[in-house]
Amino acid sequence: MLHNQRTLRSTPKGEPELSSKTVFASPISFENTSTSLSQVEALEYIPLGDILHSVDASENNILRRKQRKLAATTASTYSLYSANPMHLNALNSTLIFAQHEAGTAVCIHPDGWLLTCSHCIGESPIEWQANKRKWLLYYTGLAVQAECRAWDPIRDLALLKIVIIEITQPGPQHIPVFAHLPLAFAVPKIRTPIFCLGQPGAEDLESDTYRKTKYNLTELSEGKYYGIVGGADPQNNEAIGTLKHDAWTYWGHSGAPLVSAQNGELIGLHSSWDELTGMRHGIPLEALGAFVSKYLGSEGDIRGGMNVADKGKQKEVIDLTAESD
């Protein structure tokens, strides 16, 4: 029987040691910079409560309903996570999809680059190209729109860039710095303790009749890392994720960060589970590193965290539209 724990709080044993010395107090902060703004990709700011781009009335209602629920529980959620800096960093770096279909993403770069599973964006090239932009929410209820810049159904990974923030526009020389999780430097050892933070679906798919779940919009669970499926190619996660773990997950956790409980580094993304064994599966670090290196730039830039002083450097991102059949 798998040892799974679903908890919203853990008592740290001693002071947790983060691989990155930065502990983010909020999902987004604004810094006054001397960097030429022409070197930074422009973001659009829209006033709170304004009409959202590319959202129909039904989707807008769902987004606003989730947003209100998150805003109403911000203080209590923060108090549950704040005792552990690694949990707090993960909370500030995790976003949930605002659409009816639940899903999760994680920020990996201070410029607002996100990782999620490709199937959270679309099941086919036609589907993801038809709707590249998605609205997501932080635990505070802050809404952002992100554009999918790279989509890889074999690795089951997608790279998104935040392009719109629903917030009062900052001063002209202020640029946003997004809370983010660093990619791990090395593949963890078997049975390394981990935690997962994601959005469980609102519909109880295990019930014979329609029934809603009672889960929060964000749930933290704890477990262990169990390596890679024997003989599998870690770059091929098309059928099922090759990473194995036993942290509790539910429908809607796809794309949720799997984080080392030892140092707060990102070691994978949850993606699926084995219905026969109950083992959870995910996208391993090997695939994350190769994907990010290919489409975002030097892999070394984000191992252990990206120095904010490096902001403004342009990274070439390849849009897979030109490569798809």
DSSP code per residue over 230-273: TT--TT--SSS-SEEE-S---TT-TT-EEEETTT--EEEEEEEE
Question: Any idea which residue has 């994720």 for tokens?
Answer: 241
**Final residue before a domain boundary, out of 162, 181, 200:** 181
Q: Are 262 and 189 in contact (CB under 8 A)?
A: no
At 159 the pLDDT is: 96
Q: Do residues 229 and 168 both lie within one domain? A: no
Please indicate, yes or no, whether residues 201 and 115 belong to a single structural domain of this protein. Answer: no
Give me the chain's average pLDDT, please.
80
Examine residue 106 and state whether it is found in any structural domain, yes or no: yes
The verdict on 255 and 141 lying in the same domain is no
Range of the domain at 82: 28-181
Residues 109/302, Cβ–Cβ less than 8 Å: yes
Can you give the pLDDT at residue 321?
32
- 73 and 176 assigned to the same domain: yes
**Minimum mean pLDDT range among 44-48, 165-169, 238-242:** 165-169
- 176, 248: one domain: no
Percentage of the residues of the chain whose pLDDT score is greater than 70:
76
Q: Which residues contact 272 (CB under 8 A, 6 or more apart)?
A: 240, 241, 254, 280, 281, 282
Mean pLDDT of 203-222: 65
Separation in Å, CA 10 to CA 79, 95, 272: 12, 21, 25
How many domains are contained in the chain?
2
pLDDT value at residue 161: 95
At 77, phi and psi to the nearest 5?
-65, -45
Same domain for 36 and 164, yes or no, is yes
Q: Which two tokens stand for residue 295?
A: 């489409």
More confident residue, 4 or 197: 197
Nearest CA to 296 out of 169, 124, 111, 142 is that of 111
Ramachandran bin of 297, using left for φ above 0, alpha for ψ from -120 to 50, beta for the remaining angles: left
- 3-state SS class at 88: helix
Q: How far is CA 31 from CA 6, 137, 222, in A?
A: 36, 22, 34
Residues 160 and 198 reside in one and the same domain: no
Asked if residue 129 belongs to a domain, the reply is yes
| 173 and 186 assigned to the same domain | no
Q: Are residues 37 and 105 in the same domain?
A: yes
Q: Confirm whether 301 is domain-assigned.
A: no
Measured CA to CA, the distance from residue 151 to residue 318 in angstroms comes to 10
Q: Do 170 and 199 fall within a single domain?
A: no
The length of the chain in residues reads: 325
Residue 177 lies in a domain: yes
CATH number at residue 247: 2.40.10.10
pLDDT at 233 over 50: yes
Domain contains 309: no
Residues 134 and 188 in one domain: no
Tokens of 175: 């640029």
CB 280 within 8 A of CB 114: no
Distances (CA, A) of 254 to 95, 167, 183, 241, 260: 12, 27, 18, 11, 18
HSE (CB half, 13 Å, CA atoms) of 50? 17
298 located within any domain: no
- Position 38: which residue type? S
Residue 257 lies in a domain: yes
Task: Give pLDDT, residue 101.
Answer: 63
Residue 3 CB coordination number (10 Å): 9
Q: Do residue 132 and residue 201 come from a single domain? A: no
pLDDT at 277: 86
E strand or H helix at 295: helix 285-295
The 10s digit of each residue's pLDDT in 42-60 is: 888 998 887 776 788 888 8
Residue 318 has pLDDT above 50, yes or no: no
H-helix or E-strand spanning residue 118: helix 118-121
Six token digits for residue 261: 């409980």
Lowest-confidence range among 9-18, 57-66, 229-238, 267-276? Answer: 9-18
Task: State mean pLDDT over 150-178.
Answer: 89
